[in-house]
Amino acid sequence: MARRERKRRVADLCSAMERIAPTWAAAEWDNVGLLAGGEDWPLRRALLTIDLTPVVLEEAAGARCDAIVAYHPPIFRAVTRMIPSPRTQEGVAAAALANRIAVYSPHTALDAAPGGTNGTLAELCGLIDTAPFEAATPPRREAKLVTFVPPKSLEKVADALFAAGAGRIGDYERCSYRLDGVGTFFGADSTTPVVGRKGRLERVRETRLEVALPVSRIADVAAALKRAHPYEEPAFDIYPLATPPDARSGQGRVGRFAKPTTAAKLAARLRRLLKVRGVAIVGRVSAGVSRGIVCAGAAGSLPFEIADRPCGPGDVVVTGEIRHHDALRYQRIGAAAVALGHWASERPVLAPLASRLRAALPGTSIIISRRDCDPFQ
């Protein structure tokens, strides 16, 4: 008998999106994740779109979708009313709720993710050896506990810490570091020392015990230490451990062209691949370029702030839209830039995102909106 597929929930979509585009990588100012709906709602069909507009919501409802993954968050700032209406972004989100359609937005989390918005656009540009402008740093998830234990109680305390969730590094368990030394204390009259006497300075043999632990287990591990440690007042320190940056994740992409090209040739290539009506080109459009700087949507001042080498001669910036004064700046520094249109620079990510969600959520229908379109006609 064939095994029945577990019924999917919106929580499964959230988990899949978190794996594809972790929310911790989003810009601090952004609003990403599940914005409307319940994680326990059923999930049979989901629609992907860049913008959640009234016609896209109508499309989703007509296709009987249970969720919409809208790249741009329809709820961005704090709102005081959620009244269904086609006139505001929040109103469209409220209408989705009224239709019991959940709304998830990845926005800059998807920009930063490997294979996300910027990665897809960089690939279309023909860039190789790409890297983010600056690697994103995952949140702190690990800490280190250090305590001091008399040798005869060392194994009892270590076992208690391990049982509470400490001492795991990758696939290794019961990991610790131990160093013998001498501890000192002076107990007041109200104390009852386990070793030595109160009222005088004592020197005792102790072992420094160090263990790594998840931040989420700090309270449990500290409680286990206090229960297992023989001292009235066990000394211990907890240090937060810095998480190394994820070199694959971060905003924007910088790479090189396998063969030098020009901004004009690159613009023609992207116009053909993306099927856009027209693109805007800034700077020396016929001069050779060897490095590409990609930032879907609006690059703003980011290309001028790349830490190791800001944009300059020999570079071409590919983005969605460029402000007038930034265009003048590209001209002054001898760089070139291509503006594809905000929507057009982001839309290509939907196809690979749909493929990844289909692989992550077998049995769930993942469709790409046909009514999502560039507002500029």
Over residues 14-67, the pLDDT tens digits come to 999 999 999 999 999 999 999 999 999 999 999 999 999 999 999 999 999 999
Nearest CA among 6, 5, 12 for reference residue 69: 12
Q: Per this entry, what is the length of the chain?
A: 377
Q: Is the pLDDT of residue 266 over 70?
A: yes
What average pLDDT does this structure show over 163-178?
95
What is the per-residue pLDDT across 327-345, written as a single tens digit (0 to 9) for each? 999 999 999 999 999 999 9
Task: Name the superfamily (CATH) of residues 114-136+248-340.
Answer: NIF3 (NGG1p interacting factor 3)-like (3.40.1390.30)
Q: Strands of the chain (E only): list them.
A: 33-36, 45-49, 67-70, 102-105, 127-131, 142-149, 177-186, 201-214, 236-240, 253-262, 280-282, 288-298, 315-321, 336-339, 365-368
Q: Mean pLDDT of all residues in the chain? A: 93
> Do 281 and 262 form a contact (C-beta atoms < 8 A)?
no
Query: Binning pLDDT at 50, 70 and 90, where does residue 191 land?
Result: confident
Report DSSP state, residue 114: T
pLDDT at 3 over 60: no
Residue 370: CB atoms within 10 A of its CB come to: 12
pLDDT at residue 5, rounded to an integer:
62
State what percent of residues in the chain have pLDDT above 90.
Answer: 79
Q: How confident is the model at residue 4 (pLDDT cuts 50, 70, 90)?
A: low
Note the pLDDT of residue 1.
45
The number of CA neighbours under 13 Å toward the Cβ of 327 is 11
Domain 142-240's class?
alpha beta
pLDDT band, residue 277 (cuts 50/70/90): confident
The structure tokens listed for 142 are 């690990």
pLDDT of 2 strictly over 70: no
User: Does residue 219 surpass a pLDDT of 60?
Assistant: yes
The arithmetic mean of pLDDT across residues 90-96, rounded, is: 90
What number is the average pLDDT over the span 296-309?
A: 90
CATH 3.40.1390.30 residue spans of the chain: 10-109+349-368, 114-136+248-340
Question: Rounded distance, CA 32 to CA 171, Å?
Answer: 32
* Residue scoring higher pLDDT (242 or 361): 361
Which structure tokens are listed for 298?
């609006």
Q: Which CATH architecture has domain 10-109+349-368?
A: 3-Layer(aba) Sandwich (3.40)
Is 96 a residue whose pLDDT tops 60? Answer: yes
pLDDT single digits (tens) 280-295: 999 988 889 999 999 9
Least confident stretch, 3-17, 115-129, 210-224: 3-17
Least confident of 113-117, 189-193, 206-210, 331-335: 189-193
Task: Give mean pLDDT, residues 85-108.
Answer: 92
Average pLDDT of the segment spanning 223-251: 93
d(CA 230, CA 220): 18
**97-150 confidence digits (pLDDT tens):** 999 999 999 999 999 999 999 999 999 999 999 999 989 989 888 999 999 999
